[in-house]
Every structure is written in structure tokens, then in C-alpha cells.
Structure 1
């Protein structure tokens, strides 16, 4: 009946940390240059995915919880394209 309609409940989409704040949090953990920022809904939780290139050309993904600013994951990417 609703086709491809996708509903996200209001309480899930509310965020307290801005994209700028999330980037600052990520750069505090992994210094470098931000090359890409995205926001994903993972298991009903909004997460900023921030990709940072370090000065030695290593690429890291830092996941920051949009609700609190807590870092969920720091992972070095193997495939740099």
C-alpha cells in the first residue's frame, strides 16, 4: 500500500551532535585531513562515518554516535581508492 515509503521514528532521527562537532571529535582521536563524512542509520542509531587521511597516507574510518558524540569505532581502511 505504501510502496517504497520508509518511516524513521522521530526519536531515532534526533541528533545532539552536529556534523562539525563530530568531525572535531574524530580529528581529536585521529589527526589528519577529513576526506569524507556521511551519516548512516545503523541498527536504529544515527552514526557519523568520518574518513580521515593521516599525514602518512593511511585512511581511517571513525564512527561517532550522533546522539552523544561517543566514538563507536576507529578502523584503518585496507583498500584506499
Structure 2
């Protein structure tokens, strides 16, 4: 009788653990989908990495237009501008040093000039940038 009771308890415990595991799995899947949706940007010109040589031909706005759009959102000094494939879309990546010496990476849609995303680098990346500048000044 004692063994039957323990066996039932073990079975019940397994059921509860499987239920909890299933709930956690569904939660992680949903969280991953939400994160993927937020992290992605959608531009107006689709590209693949194989087309990198033709990026300049596909861009509907000039590099100057992209820089101006970026500087309207993030005032500062432009470090670098390049056409890039961001999640399958053609964008200008404009790196700007802001007044507080943080670096902003502004993604501009190469088709219509809209700002798609602004990322600000963290302090450790800023230190790397400062160290590189010191090396250049010497």
C-alpha cells in the first residue's frame, strides 16, 4: 500500500514537472518571437549579401542625404558611412560621435531616407574609440 501511494505521488510529480516544462517552453518561444520582431528593421529595398557590389546602384538616396537625415536625429560628428545589408534590407549605416563622446549608429533606409534605428554604443566601446583616437593623434 505504501508503495502504491509513493508510485502515485511520483506520477503526479512527473505530470506537474512536465506541465511546468511545457509552460516554460511556450513562454520562451513567445519571448523569442517578440524579441526577433523588435530587433528587426524593415527597409524599402530588399537585398542579399551576394548583391553587395550593386548596393550603390540600388540606393535611391545619396550618401549625403543619408548623413543629413542621421544628423537631424543625432547631432554630432560623422565618423563613418557605409551601405550595408541590415536584415535583408539596404540601409546606410551612419556612425556619429555625439557631444558626450558616445557613438551612435544610425540606420537610414536607402530607399526613402527614413531613420529606421538608432543604437548607442556602450562605455567600453567608447573607450576603444578614444584609445584609437589617441593612437591616430600620435
Tell me the TM-score normalised to structure 1 length. Answer: 0.79
Greater mean deviation of Cα atoms: 20-29 or 53-62: 53-62
Which of the pair is proportionally richer in helix?
Answer: 2
Greater mean deviation of Cα atoms: 66-75 or 43-52: 43-52
Q: Secondary structure at the match of 1:25?
A: helix
Runs of 4+ aligned structure 1 residues displaced above 4 Å come to none
- Higher RCO (CA 8 Å, separation ≥ 6 residues): 1
* Aligned with 2:95 (options 51, 66, 71): 51
Q: Number of residue pairs matched?
A: 73
Tell me the TM-score normalised to structure 2 length. Answer: 0.48
Unaligned runs of 5+ in 1: 1-5
Which of the pair is proportionally richer in strand?
Answer: 1
Deviation at 1:7, TM superposition (A): 4.4
Aligned alpha-carbon RMSD (Å): 1.7
Structure of greater Rg: 2
Unaligned runs of 5+ in 2: 1-48, 129-138
Q: What are the equivalent positions in structure 2 for 1:18-29 lying under 5 Å apart?
A: 18-29=62-73
